[in-house]
Structure 1
Amino acid sequence: MFKQLRRDIQVVFERDPAARTVIEVLLNYPGLHAIWIHRLTHQMYLLGFRTLARLLSQIARFFTQVEIHPGATIGEGLFIDHGCGIVIGETAIVGDDVTLFQGVTLGGTGKEKGKRHPTLDDGVMVSSGARVLGNIHIGENVKIGAGSVVLQDVPANSTVVGIPGRVVKQDGNRVPTDKHHVDLEHNRLPDPVCECLKDLRARLDAVQVRLEEMEEKANEHQDL
């Protein structure tokens, strides 16, 4: 248990440059508090004390603004940055070394029974305000852009942006090879709309050149 607690504290220092001392981390990181309380409520949930577990999780939500259902399965090395507004559903599975920024939702899409929340593999990073919904699978080292809504499976080593979420990069130059490497640069994501506009501009330029060539040929024909 103490080894796991030390690992949780070390994760904060690894992924947040604002962390300076252990005391500061212990007192001022609600995401860390939410994870620790979840470990307790999750064990209670597995032992059958589900009502009490839900009650404690709601009390934790009041103080941390992070809502993690006691039934959710959380791996080691989870880092919740700021934490405000994060929701993790009952059947969600979160792997090791996952990073969640504020406002992230790992939710369901209906009233179906059984597995209805997403599964995140190791090394996944979900940016601010993103929604990952339904019984879908997010592969290792996936980066989900801010504000994205992901409704389908995502292969490993991919970058997803947009509504609905689209894979815009897979096995690119910045994909880490270390299984436990965590890429926090969620500001460096490709813009599929911008890329589409650039492609459209290039096509228009080509059409313009073609029209000018046709006009020149037409003028030469008239001169003849």
Structure 2
Amino acid sequence: MLKQLREDIKAVFARDPAARNTLEVLTTYPGIHALIMHRIAHELWQKECKGSARLLSSFSRFATGIEIHPGAKIGRRFFIDHGMGVVIGETAEIGDDVTLYHGVTLGGTTWNKGKRHPTLEDGVVVGAGAKILGPFTVGKNSKVGSNAVVTKEVPPDTTAVGNPARFITKDKPKDDEEARRRDYAESIGFQPYAATQDQSDPILDGMRVLLDRIQHNEKRMNTLCQRLSLLDPSFKKQHDEQPFSVEELKIIEDVRRECEAQGTQSKA
């Protein structure tokens, strides 16, 4: 128990630059308080003292704002930063060196008995407000972004972001089918959203495409008007002014400049 506590305190120093000394960690970090009480409650739970375990768990929730069911299995060097609003269900399993931030929920999606909550393997980091719901595994060294909602298995070394969560993997398997899809995607100019390391801002990429298309269409319309004027001398433009106001043109120019800057950074 004391050995685990020493490891947990070292984990705080390793992952929180605000931690100054051991006394401060022991007295002011609710994540440490909740973890100490959970380890005791878990021992009681395993020894069939379930009423006492739930009572201690409820007191821990009242004192720290962190709710950990005494049946949950938690590994070594577990760190809950800030902690308020964290909920960990009964059948959740957490590996070593896992980090949770405030507002995280490891919950279930069914009322049936048995495995209902997720399993977090070693080295997983879960951002503030994320919800991981269901009896699946979040792979080793994966990351779950803030406010993400994850309802299916996350492969190792993967980042899950969004609602519902989409996966960003650095090194995807290079099988024949995957290679064929990538070749086709490149041939039509398709870029998966936030799926590559050198990806620029996808919103700006989309705006860049739209601006280029608008400019192309304007050129075609001007050419068409000129040819109509040659065919029919009575044809005249009703409006000679710019199709956009000065303010609109300024906004478009700012966006184009930002798109070009993003493109230059991506190429670099």
Same structural fold, with TM-score higher than 0.5 when normalized by the shorter chain: yes
- Which residue in 2 is equivalent to 1:171? 170
Q: How many residues matched? A: 204
Provide, for residues 24-50 of structure 1, a one-character-per-residue CA deviation record: whole Å limited to 9, x for no partner.
111111111111111111121112111
Q: Output the CA distance in 1 between the equivalents of 2:201 and 2:142.
A: 20
* Stretch moving more, 6-15 or 142-151: 142-151
Instruction: Compute the displacement of 1:197 (Å).
Output: 2.7
- Which residue in 1 is equivalent to 2:5? 5
Q: Does 1:211 align with 2:217?
A: yes
- Which residue in 1 is equivalent to 2:38? 38
Instruction: Compute the displacement of 1:170 (Å).
Output: 1.2
Provide, for residues 155-201 of structure 1, a one-character-per-residue CA deviation record: whole Å limited to 9, x for no partner.
1212222212222x2127xxxxxxxxxxxxxxxxx79xx94432331
- Which residue in 2 is equivalent to 1:110? 110
- Which residue in 2 is equivalent to 1:180? none
Instruction: Compute the displacement of 1:9 (Å).
Output: 0.9
The one-letter amino acid paired with 1:214 is: R
* Stretch moving more, 201-210 or 108-117: 201-210
The one-letter amino acid paired with 1:36 is: I
The one-letter amino acid paired with 2:110 is: G
Q: Output the CA distance in 1 between the equivalents of 2:220 and 2:84.
A: 60
The one-letter amino acid paired with 1:121 is: E
Instruction: Compute the displacement of 1:128 (Å).
Output: 1.1
Instruction: Compute the displacement of 1:96 (Å).
Output: 0.8
- Which residue in 2 is equivalent to 1:18? 18
The one-letter amino acid paired with 1:158 is: T
Q: What is the TM-score of this pair, normalised by structure 2? A: 0.71
- Unpaired stretches in structure 2, ≥5 consecutive residues: 172-193, 232-268
- Unpaired stretches in structure 1, ≥5 consecutive residues: 173-189
Matches within 5 A, 1:44-193: 44-167=44-167, 169-171=168-170
- Bigger RCO (CA 8 Å, 6+ sep): 1
Q: Which has the higher helix share?
A: 2
- Which residue in 2 is equivalent to 1:202? 208
Partner secondary structure for residue 14 of structure 2: helix
Q: Output the CA distance in 1 between the equivalents of 2:45 and 2:75.
A: 16
**Matched residues, percent identical?**
49
Q: Output the CA distance in 1 between the equivalents of 2:60 and 2:209.
A: 55
Q: What is the TM-score of this pair, normalised by structure 1? A: 0.84
Instruction: Compute the displacement of 1:19 (Å).
Output: 0.9
The one-letter amino acid paired with 1:48 is: E
Partner secondary structure for residue 106 of structure 2: strand
The one-letter amino acid paired with 2:170 is: D
What do you get for the CA RMSD once the two structures are aligned? 2.0
